[in-house]
Amino acid sequence: MSRYEKVCLIRADGGRAIRRILDRIGDKWALLIVATLHDQRLRFTQLQQHIPGISQRMLSLTLRHLERDGLISRTVFAEVPPRVEYELTPMGRTLIEPALSLAEWAVEHDPDIERSRREYDDREA
């Protein structure tokens, strides 16, 4: 029995918890936001500047999801204009190490994956 199967049996949920969490943190932007907040608090605009290509809408939506999941916190300062800062929660910080491992794996294996994709596409053409 694999570790995955064992975990699913222990939880008795058939892998639903794993799929639900991976769906959230495995989207296009979540891990980039988590990594950007790794050692700093940032305002919305600063976050957007650190993550090329993310739209204001997607940043806002992803921040809301991460806050709802307890991975980041949002602090509003009663100033004029209001200042809002985002940072990782203690639970969010526990995601850094696995995220870095995944990022390193992706960088290491990207050339192999690209080659496999080209070979597959050539065979299918």
CATH at 88 = 1.10.10.10
Q: What is the pLDDT of residues 29-86, one digit of tens each?
A: 999 999 999 989 999 999 999 999 999 999 999 999 999 999 999 999 988 888 999 9
Flag whether 3 is in a domain: no
Flag whether 41 is in a domain: yes
Flag whether 15 is in a domain: no
pLDDT at 7: 65
Average pLDDT over residues 89-100: 92
**From CA 47, how far away is CA 51, in angstroms rounded?**
6
- Total domains, the chain: 1
Flag whether 98 is in a domain: yes
> What SS3 string covers the chain?
CCHHHHHHHHHCCCCHHHHHHHHHHCCCCHHHHHHHCCCCCEEHHHHHHHCCCCCHHHHHHHHHHHHHCCCEEEEEECCCCCEEEEEECHHHHCCHHHHHHHHHHHHHHHHHHHHHHHHHHHHHC
Flag whether 10 is in a domain: no
Asked if the model's pLDDT at residue 92 lies above 80, the reply is: yes
The answer to whether 66 touches 42, Cβ cutoff 8 Å, is: no
Flag whether 11 is in a domain: no
pTM to 2 decimal places: 0.79
What range defines the domain where residue 43 resides?
Answer: 28-124
Flag whether 9 is in a domain: no
Q: What is the pLDDT of residues 12-36, one digit of tens each?
A: 677 777 778 888 888 889 999 999 9
The answer to whether 54 touches 29, Cβ cutoff 8 Å, is: yes
Flag whether 84 is in a domain: yes
